[in-house]
Structure 1
Amino acid sequence: MPELPEMETYKVLLEQIIGGQMITGVVINREKSINVPIEEFTRKVLHQKIESIERRAKYVIFRLQNGFCLLLHLMLGGWMYYGTKEEQPDRSIQVQLSFQDHHLYFIGLRLGYLHLHTPEMIWRKLQHLGPEPLDPNFSLDAFFSIFQNRRGGLKTTLMNQEVLSGIGSRYSDEILWHCQLHPKRRINELEPSGLVRLYGSIQSILQLAMQHGGYMDPLYRDDHKTGGYQMFVHGVEGKNCSRCGNMIVKADKMYFCQQCQL
C-alpha cells in the first residue's frame, strides 16, 4: 500500500503535469470506485479546472474550480498512470480522467476509491488523522507529548493514523530498523533516548524515501523521479542486514533484524 512518501511523490508530479488543467473527459468503469452516481460525478467533474493538488496522510486531494474536491485513497494495489491512449497500461482501469489527448488512469481500485466531496466533507472525513510527521511544526517536543504516555507496541503505534498520519506497515519496519528497535517493543519500555532515536528515524527514513520517489512504479513514461527507494528490511527476509550482516526475518507481518533490533 502506498504511504506518505509515495503519495507525496504523486502529488508533486501531478501538480506539475495536470495542475491548472481542465478535465476534458471522465470514464467510470467501476461505479464502486466512486461514491455518487456516475451521472452526478461526471456532471460535477467534467470541464472543471484542477485548482490545486494536496496530500494529507495517505490521501491526495484534487481541488476543482467549482469548489468540489476529489479524494483519492489508493489502498492496497491501487496506482496511477498518466499518458496517451497508446501508452495505456494493459490493466483493468476503474476510473479515467482525460486532459485533451492525455489521460490519468486509476488502476487497481478494488479497495481504493476516488470520491467526490465538498471541502467540508473532506475536513470531517480527515479530522481524526494525527499530525504529519514531516510537518515543520512537528517538533521533538510535540513527538514526546504524543508518545511518552502511550503503552502500545512500536510498529502498531506508528501505523495508527490517529497517532501519526501517513506511515504504514512498510515504512514502520524501515523506521524501526533504522533506530534499531524491535517492532514488538512497547513504547513505555523506552528510555527518553530511545524516543529521540525513534523521532530522528521517522524524519530520516521518510525524507530519504521521498528523495528517491518512494517505491511505486513510475507515474508516466519518462518519469525518473518515482520508485527509486530500496528497502533496508521490509520485504527482504532471508537477506543479510546491511548494518550487521545477520539475516532479516519476517514474523507476524513484521520485518526486522534479530541481531541489531532490540
Structure 2
Amino acid sequence: MQELPELDIYRALLAEQFAGVRITGIEVKNSKTFQVSPERLEHDVAGKAVWFVERRGKQLLFHLDNGKRLMLHMAQGAYLYKGSDVDQPKRPAQLIIRFSDQALYCIGLRADDMQLLSVKEVEEKLGRLGPDPFEKWLTVDRFIDRFAKKRGTLKAALIDQNIISGIGSVYADEICFDAEVRPDAKIPVLERETWERLYVSTHKVLKEAISKGGAGEQPFAEDDSLTGGYLAHFKVYNREGQSCPRCGATIVRMDVSTRKAYVCLSCQKDQ
C-alpha cells in the first residue's frame, strides 16, 4: 500500500538524501516502466541535479534543474530502496537512478509508473486532483463543500482523488473509525457534526501515521527503523474478527462500493 503517509515519508527521505545531488546515471531494467527512450533519458536526466522532491496526491515529483519533472506513481507492492552496488534490495528493481556511489532502486513498478514530463504535462495529468488534506486553505467548511454534490458512500468519496487527494482505501477505513462513522454511510444523510469529526480525524490519522513511519512493509535503507511503524497502530484495517479497541465488539469486513472495508458496527454509526 502507498497512500499519503507512506509517500510523504518517502518525500522527506528523498529530499534529505538527494536534494541538490546530481544524477550520474539511470538504468531502465524494464522498458514498460518508463515512457521515454534511452536517448532522451541520457539528454534530459543524466547529469541533471534534483532541486527538490514534491508529493502531489499519490505521486512523487522529482524537480530537475533543467525544468523537467520525473513523476513516480507507486502502485500496491511497489517500494523504494536507497543503496549501492554492494547494498541492493532483495527484489529486482525495474529502475535504478544513480547518484555517484549511491543508488535509488525502484521496485515493483508497472507500465508508465515513471514518466519524464514538462511542467505543462504535469499539470495536464494532475491538474484535476483535489486539494491535499493538509492545504492551509482547506477549512472545515471548504472540506464539507468538496463532498456536497456526491450521493454515494462515504468511503467511495474519501478515496476519490478528484475530491481530496492522497487518501486510499486503508486510511479511509481508519479515518471513518476515528470519526465514529461507517464507511458505507450515505453522504446526503451525514450531519454537519459528523463532517466536522471527519475533518479532524482526517488530519489526526494521517499525521499520526506519518509520525510513526506509515505502513510500508519494506525499509527505505539498510539502517531504516522507522518505516512500517504504524502497522501496529491500525484500529480496524485488516483486523477482521478482532476486538474493537474502543468498545470491544468484533470488527467485521464488508464490501463498500466494490471495495473491502473494515468497520466496527457497534460504535460506528451511519449518520
Q: Indicate the TM-score class for this superposition, using the shorter chain for normalisation.
A: over 0.9
Is 31-40 or 7-16 further displaced after alignment? Answer: 31-40
Structure 2 counterpart SS, 1:87: coil
In structure 2, the partner of 1:258 is: 265
Counterparts in 2 of 1:61 and 1:215: CA distance versus 1, 3 Å: same
Question: C-alpha separation between the residues in 2 aligned to 1:139 and 1:112?
Answer: 35
Structure 2 counterpart SS, 1:207: helix
In structure 2, the partner of 1:101 is: 101
Identity between Structure 1 and Structure 2 (%): 39
In structure 2, the partner of 1:192 is: 192
Cα deviation, residue 126, structure 1? 0.4
Question: C-alpha separation between the residues in 2 aligned to 1:231 and 1:208?
Answer: 11
Is 111-120 or 250-259 further displaced after alignment? Answer: 111-120
Is 62-71 or 230-239 further displaced after alignment? Answer: 230-239
In structure 1, the partner of 2:76 is: 76
**Structure 1 alignment gaps of length 5 or more:** none
In structure 1, the partner of 2:246 is: 243
Is 166-175 or 32-41 further displaced after alignment? Answer: 32-41
Question: C-alpha separation between the residues in 2 aligned to 1:148 and 1:49?
Answer: 43
Structure 1 counterpart SS, 2:80: strand
Cα deviation, residue 112, structure 1? 6.5
Matched pairs, number: 262
In structure 2, the partner of 1:221 is: 222
In structure 1, the partner of 2:67 is: 67
Cα deviation, residue 261, structure 1? 1.2
Whichever residue aligns with residue 191 of structure 2, its letter is E
Structure 2 counterpart SS, 1:26: strand
Whichever residue aligns with residue 248 of structure 2, its letter is G
Does the 8 Å CA contact 1:31/1:38 hold for their aligned counterparts?
no
Question: C-alpha separation between the residues in 1 aligned to 2:43 and 2:77?
Answer: 28
1:81-160 correspondence runs (5 A): 81-110=81-110, 113-160=113-160
Structure 2 counterpart SS, 1:138: coil
TM-score, normalising length from structure 2? Answer: 0.93
In structure 1, the partner of 2:201 is: 201
Whichever residue aligns with residue 265 of structure 2, its letter is Q
Cα deviation, residue 173, structure 1? 0.5
Question: C-alpha separation between the residues in 2 aligned to 1:9 and 1:152?
Answer: 31
Is 173-182 or 210-219 further displaced after alignment? Answer: 210-219
**Structure 2 alignment gaps of length 5 or more:** none
Question: C-alpha separation between the residues in 2 aligned to 1:82 and 1:52?
Answer: 17
Cα deviation, residue 224, structure 1? 3.0
Structure 2 counterpart SS, 1:202: helix
Question: C-alpha separation between the residues in 2 aligned to 1:94 and 1:236?
Answer: 33
Q: In angstroms, what is the RMSD of aligned CA positions?
A: 1.3
In structure 1, the partner of 2:4 is: 4
TM-score, normalising length from structure 1? Answer: 0.96
Question: C-alpha separation between the residues in 2 aligned to 1:207 and 1:90?
Answer: 30
Structure 2 counterpart SS, 1:72: strand
Cα deviation, residue 190, structure 1? 1.0
Does the 8 Å CA contact 1:76/1:112 hold for their aligned counterparts?
no
Does the 8 Å CA contact 1:246/1:257 hold for their aligned counterparts?
yes
Does the 8 Å CA contact 2:173/2:261 hold for their aligned counterparts?
yes
Question: C-alpha separation between the residues in 1 aligned to 2:51 and 2:226?
Answer: 23
Whichever residue aligns with residue 27 of structure 1, its letter is E
Question: C-alpha separation between the residues in 2 aligned to 1:162 and 1:113?
Answer: 19
Cα deviation, residue 111, structure 1? 5.2
